[in-house]
Amino acid sequence: MAKKALFEQKITCPVCENGFTITRVRSSACFVLRRESDFRVKYRDLDPLLYSIWVCPNCQYANMENEFVKGLSENDKKKLKTELPPLKSSEPDLWHERTPETALRAVHLALRSAIIRQAPAIVMAGLFLRGSWIFREIGNTEMEKEFLGKAKRLYEYSFEKESNRYLEQMGQARVMYLIGELNRKLGNFDDAVRWFSRILSNRNMVVEPDLQRLIRDQWEVAREEHKKGSAGEPQEEKKEMKPVEISIVLGHEQAEWLKHVVQRSFEYHGARIEDAEIIKVIIELLAEKYPDLALKSVEELKNLLAV
């Protein structure tokens, strides 16, 4: 790797105000090889993706380089200042030349910061997408898919429920295309086709010619793959589940415990345990402990849990 392509820059952490030096990639040293269908840009020699997340060595606040300083509100800073120190972990060198493995640590730390400050789903989606690109780079297909799946769900959530500057910057059509393409990559061809057609059938939507071409190409690929019968990629399992609304009031200690469980999952697995998954485990444990459980009402469950 050409050392001259890298340079150092002094940064002040917006959370703890510690000064540190990070390594950046000179854009003049980057040569684009190709653009992949999920917006991953492949470069020759040097991969700027590995350096795209900055990490403060003191408080371990981490974020995308263009969001690191200006992307935080005062409230975000306050939350990070209180909640990061107890989570401080021992990390590899993230401030000089990076490997895909060290870059993945930076992604995990950025996800941790994003969860603490309750960043919009689209921000989290972008981090998972970047993580999946790095896993693709090192040939870890299983983790690549896991991260793609998380990115897909978060983009879908963001598209349906959020309205923020990130969505505006990216543009509706690009977000919709990405959801379609991630579905295709995960083997959900029907969903992929549905998202692609939703964009092209909307006459009011502004779609740049390049993106239009990409949508038509990937639509065709999805149709072909569908005909071939998933091309060896398993369809993402679809579970028909009736939504059940459960409201749970947690005491302070219980809430702290839950937060701890969610944050520790980052330390070990680099992924967030969703609240719904925790509830699922609790229900499964209950079912295991009381295999013959047949409850007729919520009251009966309440009584059982109170024992």
Q: How many residues bind Zn ion (CB under 5 A)?
A: 8
104 interacts with Zn ion by CB under 5 A: no
Using the contact rule CB under 5 A, the part of the chain among 7-15, 122-130, 141-149, 280-288 near Zn ion is 7-15
Nearest to Zn ion of 17, 190 (CB atom): 17
Nearest to Zn ion of 18, 254 (CB atom): 18
DSSP 8-state secondary structure symbol assigned to residue 28: G
Q: How far is CA 220 from CA 50, 185, 186, 224, 231, in A?
A: 32, 13, 16, 6, 14
Q: Can you name the residues that pair with 44 across neighbouring β-strands?
A: 31
| Residues 26-85 contacting Zn ion, CB under 5 A | 56, 58-59, 61
15 interacts with Zn ion by CB under 5 A: yes
Nearest to Zn ion of 87, 170 (CB atom): 87
Query: Smallest gap, in angstroms, from Cβ of residue 172 to Zn ion?
Result: 35
Taking the mean position of all CA atoms in its chain, how far away is CA 220? Answer: 27
Nearest to Zn ion of 80, 176 (CB atom): 80
Selection from 178, 190, 191, 72 nearest residue 133 by Cα: 178
116 interacts with Zn ion by CB under 5 A: no
Q: Can you name the residues that pair with 34 across neighbouring β-strands?
A: 42
Using the contact rule CB under 5 A, the part of the chain among 13-21, 117-125, 220-228, 282-290 near Zn ion is 13-21
3-state secondary structure 210-240: HHHHHHHHHHHHHHHHHHHCHHHCCCCCCCC
Nearest to Zn ion of 16, 151 (CB atom): 16
Helix axes 172-185, 141-161, angle to 10 degrees: 140
94 interacts with Zn ion by CB under 5 A: no
Q: Can you name the residues that pair with 59 across neighbouring β-strands?
A: none
Query: Smallest gap, in angstroms, from Cβ of residue 14 to Zn ion?
Result: 8
Residues near Zn ion (CB under 5 A): 13, 15-16, 18, 56, 58-59, 61
